[in-house]
Chains A and B, each alone.
Chain A
Amino acid sequence: MIFLQLFIVFTKIGAFNFGGGYAMLSLIHNEVVEKNQWLTSSEFTDIVAISQSTPGPIGINCATYTGYTAVINEGYPEWMAVLGAVLASLSVLWVPFLLMLTISKILLKYSKTQVVGNIFSLLRPAIVGLIAAAAILLMSADNFGSPSQSTFQFIVSIIIFLFAFIGTRLYRIHPILMIILAGLAGLVIY
Protein backbone atom coordinates (compact mmCIF):
# COMPACT_ATOMS: atom_id res chain seq x y z
CA MET A 1 0.00 0.00 0.00
CA ILE A 2 1.75 3.10 -1.32
CA PHE A 3 0.14 5.56 1.11
CA LEU A 4 1.23 3.60 4.16
CA GLN A 5 4.75 3.25 2.74
CA LEU A 6 4.97 6.99 2.11
CA PHE A 7 3.82 7.67 5.65
CA ILE A 8 6.39 5.33 7.22
CA VAL A 9 9.32 6.44 5.06
CA PHE A 10 8.75 10.17 5.52
CA THR A 11 8.06 9.79 9.23
CA LYS A 12 11.48 8.15 9.48
CA ILE A 13 13.08 10.92 7.44
CA GLY A 14 11.55 13.58 9.69
CA ALA A 15 12.47 11.82 12.93
CA PHE A 16 16.13 11.24 12.05
CA ASN A 17 16.95 14.54 10.50
CA PHE A 18 19.68 16.27 12.45
CA GLY A 19 21.76 19.06 11.09
CA GLY A 20 19.50 20.65 8.51
CA GLY A 21 18.55 20.33 4.86
CA TYR A 22 21.69 18.98 3.26
CA ALA A 23 22.24 16.44 6.05
CA MET A 24 18.80 15.11 5.22
CA LEU A 25 19.67 14.46 1.59
CA SER A 26 21.64 11.26 2.14
CA LEU A 27 18.78 9.93 4.24
CA ILE A 28 16.17 10.85 1.63
CA HIS A 29 18.36 9.46 -1.14
CA ASN A 30 18.78 6.19 0.74
CA GLU A 31 15.03 5.74 1.29
CA VAL A 32 13.53 7.25 -1.84
CA VAL A 33 16.04 6.39 -4.58
CA GLU A 34 17.83 3.26 -3.31
CA LYS A 35 15.34 1.34 -1.17
CA ASN A 36 11.94 2.22 -2.60
CA GLN A 37 12.96 3.41 -6.06
CA TRP A 38 10.25 6.02 -6.20
CA LEU A 39 12.58 8.41 -8.00
CA THR A 40 15.61 8.00 -10.24
CA SER A 41 18.91 9.55 -9.20
CA SER A 42 18.57 12.35 -11.77
CA GLU A 43 14.97 13.09 -10.73
CA PHE A 44 16.28 13.39 -7.19
CA THR A 45 18.93 15.91 -8.26
CA ASP A 46 16.31 17.86 -10.21
CA ILE A 47 14.19 18.16 -7.06
CA VAL A 48 17.14 19.44 -5.06
CA ALA A 49 17.63 22.08 -7.77
CA ILE A 50 13.93 22.95 -7.68
CA SER A 51 13.96 23.03 -3.85
CA GLN A 52 16.79 25.51 -3.86
CA SER A 53 14.83 27.83 -6.09
CA THR A 54 11.42 27.55 -4.40
CA PRO A 55 10.33 28.54 -0.90
CA GLY A 56 10.47 26.13 2.00
CA PRO A 57 12.74 23.50 3.46
CA ILE A 58 14.26 20.85 1.18
CA GLY A 59 12.77 18.07 3.32
CA ILE A 60 9.20 19.21 2.70
CA ASN A 61 9.91 19.89 -0.97
CA CYS A 62 11.26 16.38 -1.51
CA ALA A 63 8.35 14.85 0.41
CA THR A 64 5.75 16.73 -1.62
CA TYR A 65 7.30 15.84 -4.97
CA THR A 66 8.01 12.23 -4.07
CA GLY A 67 4.53 11.72 -2.65
CA TYR A 68 2.98 12.99 -5.86
CA THR A 69 5.27 11.05 -8.20
CA ALA A 70 5.13 7.76 -6.31
CA VAL A 71 1.32 7.70 -6.30
CA ILE A 72 1.08 8.68 -10.00
CA ASN A 73 3.57 5.93 -10.91
CA GLU A 74 1.38 3.39 -9.13
CA GLY A 75 -1.34 4.28 -11.62
CA TYR A 76 -3.63 6.27 -9.33
CA PRO A 77 -5.51 9.37 -10.59
CA GLU A 78 -4.21 12.88 -10.11
CA TRP A 79 -6.30 13.80 -7.07
CA MET A 80 -4.98 10.75 -5.22
CA ALA A 81 -1.46 11.91 -6.09
CA VAL A 82 -2.21 15.29 -4.53
CA LEU A 83 -3.34 13.46 -1.38
CA GLY A 84 -0.11 11.46 -1.46
CA ALA A 85 1.91 14.67 -1.71
CA VAL A 86 0.12 16.23 1.28
CA LEU A 87 0.38 13.00 3.28
CA ALA A 88 4.12 12.66 2.65
CA SER A 89 4.72 16.32 3.57
CA LEU A 90 2.80 16.07 6.83
CA SER A 91 4.52 12.77 7.67
CA VAL A 92 7.85 14.60 7.82
CA LEU A 93 6.45 17.04 10.35
CA TRP A 94 4.63 15.17 13.04
CA VAL A 95 7.35 13.41 15.05
CA PRO A 96 9.57 16.50 15.41
CA PHE A 97 6.43 18.45 16.24
CA LEU A 98 5.52 16.12 19.12
CA LEU A 99 9.14 16.14 20.29
CA MET A 100 9.20 19.91 20.25
CA LEU A 101 6.01 20.06 22.32
CA THR A 102 7.00 17.46 24.88
CA ILE A 103 10.72 17.60 25.40
CA SER A 104 11.52 21.16 24.40
CA LYS A 105 11.35 22.36 28.00
CA ILE A 106 13.70 19.61 29.11
CA LEU A 107 15.99 20.25 26.18
CA LEU A 108 16.10 23.94 26.89
CA LYS A 109 17.23 23.15 30.42
CA TYR A 110 19.91 20.73 29.29
CA SER A 111 20.88 22.15 25.91
CA LYS A 112 23.89 23.93 27.33
CA THR A 113 24.93 21.00 29.53
CA GLN A 114 27.77 18.56 29.09
CA VAL A 115 25.61 15.55 28.12
CA VAL A 116 24.05 17.20 25.06
CA GLY A 117 27.46 18.65 24.22
CA ASN A 118 28.98 15.16 24.32
CA ILE A 119 26.32 13.68 22.06
CA PHE A 120 26.80 16.42 19.49
CA SER A 121 30.58 16.23 19.70
CA LEU A 122 30.48 13.04 17.62
CA LEU A 123 27.16 13.65 15.89
CA ARG A 124 28.28 16.87 14.19
CA PRO A 125 31.37 15.38 12.48
CA ALA A 126 29.26 12.39 11.42
CA ILE A 127 26.71 14.70 9.81
CA VAL A 128 29.48 16.24 7.69
CA GLY A 129 30.15 12.67 6.50
CA LEU A 130 26.45 12.29 5.69
CA ILE A 131 26.49 15.37 3.48
CA ALA A 132 29.67 14.24 1.75
CA ALA A 133 28.01 10.88 1.10
CA ALA A 134 25.03 12.59 -0.53
CA ALA A 135 27.35 14.52 -2.84
CA ILE A 136 29.37 11.41 -3.74
CA LEU A 137 26.28 9.28 -4.39
CA LEU A 138 24.99 11.93 -6.77
CA MET A 139 28.23 11.97 -8.78
CA SER A 140 26.73 9.31 -11.01
CA ALA A 141 26.35 8.78 -14.74
CA ASP A 142 22.71 9.86 -14.30
CA ASN A 143 23.83 13.35 -13.35
CA PHE A 144 27.18 13.73 -15.11
CA GLY A 145 26.82 11.52 -18.18
CA SER A 146 28.98 8.43 -18.54
CA PRO A 147 32.64 8.99 -19.51
CA SER A 148 32.56 6.30 -22.22
CA GLN A 149 29.07 6.68 -23.74
CA SER A 150 28.61 10.43 -23.55
CA THR A 151 32.11 11.81 -23.24
CA PHE A 152 31.13 15.34 -24.26
CA GLN A 153 28.42 15.61 -21.60
CA PHE A 154 30.79 14.14 -19.02
CA ILE A 155 33.50 16.74 -19.69
CA VAL A 156 31.00 19.63 -19.71
CA SER A 157 29.53 18.34 -16.44
CA ILE A 158 32.93 18.24 -14.76
CA ILE A 159 33.60 21.81 -15.85
CA ILE A 160 30.19 23.02 -14.61
CA PHE A 161 30.78 21.16 -11.34
CA LEU A 162 34.16 22.85 -10.80
CA PHE A 163 32.78 26.27 -11.69
CA ALA A 164 29.83 25.85 -9.32
CA PHE A 165 32.02 24.50 -6.53
CA ILE A 166 34.55 27.31 -6.74
CA GLY A 167 31.82 29.92 -7.26
CA THR A 168 29.98 28.82 -4.13
CA ARG A 169 33.04 28.28 -1.95
CA LEU A 170 35.24 31.23 -2.88
CA TYR A 171 32.93 33.83 -4.34
CA ARG A 172 29.80 33.00 -2.31
CA ILE A 173 27.56 33.15 -5.37
CA HIS A 174 23.96 32.60 -4.32
CA PRO A 175 22.74 29.01 -4.93
CA ILE A 176 19.75 30.20 -6.97
CA LEU A 177 21.95 32.31 -9.23
CA MET A 178 24.30 29.34 -9.57
CA ILE A 179 21.42 27.07 -10.65
CA ILE A 180 20.18 29.64 -13.18
CA LEU A 181 23.68 30.08 -14.64
CA ALA A 182 24.19 26.31 -14.90
CA GLY A 183 20.79 25.93 -16.57
CA LEU A 184 21.67 28.60 -19.12
CA ALA A 185 25.02 26.92 -19.74
CA GLY A 186 23.20 23.63 -20.38
CA LEU A 187 20.80 25.30 -22.78
CA VAL A 188 23.59 26.95 -24.75
CA ILE A 189 26.12 24.11 -24.79
CA TYR A 190 23.96 21.05 -25.50
Chain B
Amino acid sequence: MHYELLKMFLVFAKIGAFTLGGGYAMVPIMEREIVDRRQWLTREEFMDILIVAQSTPGLFAINMASHIGNKARGVVGGIIGSLGVALPSILAILLIAMFFRAFQDNIYVERIFMGVRPAVVALIAAPCFSMARSAHITLSNLWIPIVACLLITLFGISPIWIILVAGLAGFVWGKIKREEKE
Protein backbone atom coordinates (compact mmCIF):
# COMPACT_ATOMS: atom_id res chain seq x y z
CA MET B 1 0.00 0.00 0.00
CA HIS B 2 2.78 2.42 0.93
CA TYR B 3 4.59 1.47 -2.22
CA GLU B 4 1.46 2.15 -4.27
CA LEU B 5 1.06 5.58 -2.71
CA LEU B 6 4.70 6.44 -3.28
CA LYS B 7 4.32 5.45 -6.90
CA MET B 8 1.24 7.65 -7.18
CA PHE B 9 3.12 10.57 -5.63
CA LEU B 10 5.95 10.16 -8.14
CA VAL B 11 3.62 9.89 -11.12
CA PHE B 12 1.85 13.10 -10.14
CA ALA B 13 5.12 14.86 -9.37
CA LYS B 14 6.25 13.93 -12.86
CA ILE B 15 3.06 15.34 -14.35
CA GLY B 16 3.53 18.50 -12.29
CA ALA B 17 7.15 18.87 -13.28
CA PHE B 18 6.63 18.56 -17.01
CA THR B 19 3.68 20.81 -17.62
CA LEU B 20 4.97 24.30 -18.16
CA GLY B 21 2.39 26.98 -17.65
CA GLY B 22 0.02 24.56 -15.94
CA GLY B 23 -3.66 24.05 -16.57
CA TYR B 24 -4.99 22.36 -19.65
CA ALA B 25 -1.56 21.47 -21.00
CA MET B 26 -1.70 18.77 -18.33
CA VAL B 27 -4.71 16.90 -19.66
CA PRO B 28 -3.10 14.79 -22.41
CA ILE B 29 -0.15 13.91 -20.18
CA MET B 30 -2.46 12.91 -17.32
CA GLU B 31 -4.60 10.87 -19.66
CA ARG B 32 -1.59 8.99 -20.97
CA GLU B 33 -0.13 8.31 -17.52
CA ILE B 34 -3.32 7.51 -15.65
CA VAL B 35 -5.60 5.89 -18.20
CA ASP B 36 -3.22 4.32 -20.72
CA ARG B 37 -0.12 3.43 -18.74
CA ARG B 38 -1.27 2.82 -15.15
CA GLN B 39 -4.92 2.07 -15.77
CA TRP B 40 -5.95 3.64 -12.48
CA LEU B 41 -9.11 4.92 -14.16
CA THR B 42 -11.12 4.12 -17.26
CA ARG B 43 -11.30 6.75 -19.99
CA GLU B 44 -14.95 7.28 -19.10
CA GLU B 45 -14.11 8.01 -15.44
CA PHE B 46 -11.31 10.32 -16.52
CA MET B 47 -13.67 12.35 -18.72
CA ASP B 48 -16.22 12.67 -15.91
CA ILE B 49 -13.53 14.01 -13.61
CA LEU B 50 -12.48 16.49 -16.29
CA ILE B 51 -15.99 17.95 -16.34
CA VAL B 52 -16.20 18.27 -12.55
CA ALA B 53 -12.70 19.77 -12.28
CA GLN B 54 -13.72 22.51 -14.69
CA SER B 55 -16.77 23.50 -12.69
CA THR B 56 -15.27 23.40 -9.19
CA PRO B 57 -13.28 26.33 -7.87
CA GLY B 58 -9.57 25.94 -7.43
CA LEU B 59 -6.67 25.15 -9.67
CA PHE B 60 -7.65 22.89 -12.49
CA ALA B 61 -4.53 20.71 -12.27
CA ILE B 62 -4.88 20.25 -8.52
CA ASN B 63 -8.57 19.46 -8.84
CA MET B 64 -7.74 16.79 -11.37
CA ALA B 65 -4.98 15.32 -9.22
CA SER B 66 -7.00 15.26 -5.99
CA HIS B 67 -9.97 13.72 -7.70
CA ILE B 68 -8.02 11.08 -9.58
CA GLY B 69 -6.02 10.18 -6.47
CA ASN B 70 -9.22 9.96 -4.47
CA LYS B 71 -10.97 7.77 -6.98
CA ALA B 72 -8.02 5.41 -7.33
CA ARG B 73 -6.77 5.20 -3.72
CA GLY B 74 -9.23 7.00 -1.42
CA VAL B 75 -8.76 10.23 0.52
CA VAL B 76 -5.07 9.61 1.21
CA GLY B 77 -4.58 9.07 -2.51
CA GLY B 78 -6.26 12.41 -3.15
CA ILE B 79 -3.94 14.23 -0.75
CA ILE B 80 -0.87 12.46 -2.14
CA GLY B 81 -1.93 13.24 -5.70
CA SER B 82 -2.43 16.96 -5.16
CA LEU B 83 0.77 17.36 -3.14
CA GLY B 84 2.60 15.48 -5.87
CA VAL B 85 1.40 17.86 -8.57
CA ALA B 86 2.12 20.94 -6.45
CA LEU B 87 5.58 19.98 -5.17
CA PRO B 88 7.73 20.57 -8.29
CA SER B 89 6.27 24.03 -8.81
CA ILE B 90 6.67 25.01 -5.15
CA LEU B 91 10.33 23.94 -5.22
CA ALA B 92 11.01 25.68 -8.54
CA ILE B 93 9.52 28.99 -7.44
CA LEU B 94 11.19 28.82 -4.02
CA LEU B 95 14.58 28.52 -5.69
CA ILE B 96 13.72 31.36 -8.07
CA ALA B 97 12.43 33.54 -5.23
CA MET B 98 15.68 33.04 -3.32
CA PHE B 99 17.95 33.79 -6.28
CA PHE B 100 15.81 36.21 -8.24
CA ARG B 101 15.71 38.61 -5.32
CA ALA B 102 19.49 38.72 -5.33
CA PHE B 103 19.66 39.47 -9.06
CA GLN B 104 16.60 41.68 -9.30
CA ASP B 105 18.61 44.89 -9.27
CA ASN B 106 21.17 43.59 -11.71
CA ILE B 107 21.12 45.90 -14.74
CA TYR B 108 20.88 43.06 -17.29
CA VAL B 109 18.12 41.26 -15.45
CA GLU B 110 16.22 44.53 -15.22
CA ARG B 111 16.64 45.11 -18.97
CA ILE B 112 15.37 41.61 -19.75
CA PHE B 113 12.30 42.14 -17.61
CA MET B 114 11.65 45.58 -19.10
CA GLY B 115 11.21 43.71 -22.37
CA VAL B 116 9.27 40.81 -20.86
CA ARG B 117 6.62 42.80 -18.93
CA PRO B 118 4.67 44.23 -21.89
CA ALA B 119 4.76 40.79 -23.55
CA VAL B 120 3.25 39.21 -20.44
CA VAL B 121 0.42 41.75 -20.49
CA ALA B 122 -0.19 40.77 -24.11
CA LEU B 123 -0.20 37.08 -23.13
CA ILE B 124 -2.93 37.83 -20.60
CA ALA B 125 -4.95 40.02 -22.97
CA ALA B 126 -4.86 37.57 -25.89
CA PRO B 127 -6.98 34.73 -24.43
CA CYS B 128 -9.85 37.17 -23.72
CA PHE B 129 -10.78 36.95 -27.38
CA SER B 130 -10.53 33.18 -27.74
CA MET B 131 -12.36 32.72 -24.43
CA ALA B 132 -15.08 35.07 -25.60
CA ARG B 133 -15.99 32.46 -28.17
CA SER B 134 -16.05 29.51 -25.78
CA ALA B 135 -18.04 31.55 -23.23
CA HIS B 136 -20.68 32.15 -25.92
CA ILE B 137 -20.37 35.91 -25.82
CA THR B 138 -22.62 37.60 -28.37
CA LEU B 139 -23.89 41.15 -28.80
CA SER B 140 -26.68 40.45 -26.32
CA ASN B 141 -24.41 39.52 -23.40
CA LEU B 142 -21.33 41.49 -24.31
CA TRP B 143 -22.23 43.92 -21.51
CA ILE B 144 -21.42 41.27 -18.88
CA PRO B 145 -17.64 41.11 -19.40
CA ILE B 146 -17.52 44.87 -20.00
CA VAL B 147 -19.34 45.73 -16.78
CA ALA B 148 -17.30 43.14 -14.84
CA CYS B 149 -14.09 44.62 -16.21
CA LEU B 150 -15.10 48.23 -15.47
CA LEU B 151 -16.19 47.42 -11.92
CA ILE B 152 -12.78 45.91 -11.19
CA THR B 153 -10.56 48.41 -12.99
CA LEU B 154 -12.41 51.67 -12.23
CA PHE B 155 -14.04 50.97 -8.89
CA GLY B 156 -11.61 48.47 -7.41
CA ILE B 157 -14.40 45.97 -6.70
CA SER B 158 -13.06 42.56 -5.68
CA PRO B 159 -13.43 39.89 -8.38
CA ILE B 160 -14.91 37.69 -5.65
CA TRP B 161 -18.10 39.80 -5.73
CA ILE B 162 -18.29 39.60 -9.51
CA ILE B 163 -18.07 35.80 -9.35
CA LEU B 164 -20.69 35.53 -6.59
CA VAL B 165 -23.15 37.92 -8.26
CA ALA B 166 -22.72 36.44 -11.76
CA GLY B 167 -23.22 32.88 -10.50
CA LEU B 168 -26.25 33.82 -8.41
CA ALA B 169 -27.78 35.91 -11.19
CA GLY B 170 -27.35 33.02 -13.63
CA PHE B 171 -29.13 30.72 -11.18
CA VAL B 172 -32.05 33.12 -10.61
CA TRP B 173 -32.34 34.03 -14.29
CA GLY B 174 -32.57 30.33 -15.17
CA LYS B 175 -35.37 29.85 -12.63
CA ILE B 176 -37.35 32.81 -13.96
CA LYS B 177 -36.99 31.55 -17.52
CA ARG B 178 -38.23 28.12 -16.53
CA GLU B 179 -41.25 29.45 -14.65
CA GLU B 180 -42.18 31.56 -17.65
CA LYS B 181 -42.17 28.45 -19.79
CA GLU B 182 -44.42 26.53 -17.40
Contacts and interface: CB of A to CB of B under 8 A. Distances in A.
Interface string A58-84: 111100110011001000001001100
Interface in B8-44: 16-24
Interface in B135-151: 135-137, 141-142, 144-149
B117 A93 contact: no
B59 interface: yes
A141 to B, nearest CB: 11
Interface string A3-42: 0000000001011111011101111001100100000001
A143 B177 CA distance: 45
Q: Which secondary structure dominates chain B's binding surface?
A: helix
B24 A97 contact: no
Contacts of A133: 148-149, 152-153, 159
Nearest to A89: B90
Nearest to B86: A60
Interface string A126-145: 11111111111111001111
Contact-residue size bin, chain B (C-beta under 8 Å from the other chain): 35 or more
A54 B61 contact: no
B6 interface: no
Given A60-B90, A93-B62, A125 B135 contact: yes
A157 B117 contact: yes
B101 to A, nearest CB: 7
Contacts of A95: 57-58
Nearest to A97: B66
A93 B86 contact: yes
B63 A45 contact: no
Contact of B24 (A20, A46, A48, A181): A20
Nearest to B148: A129
Nearest to A157: B118
Interface of B: 16-24, 48, 51-53, 55-63, 66-67, 70, 75, 78-79, 82, 85-86, 88-90, 92-94, 96-98, 100-101, 108, 111-132, 134-137, 141-142, 144-149, 152-153, 156, 158-160, 162-163, 166-167, 169-171, 173-175, 177-178
Given A118-B170, A122-B167, A127-B163, 5 more contacts: A55-B92, A119-B174, A133-B152, A161-B121, A162-B122
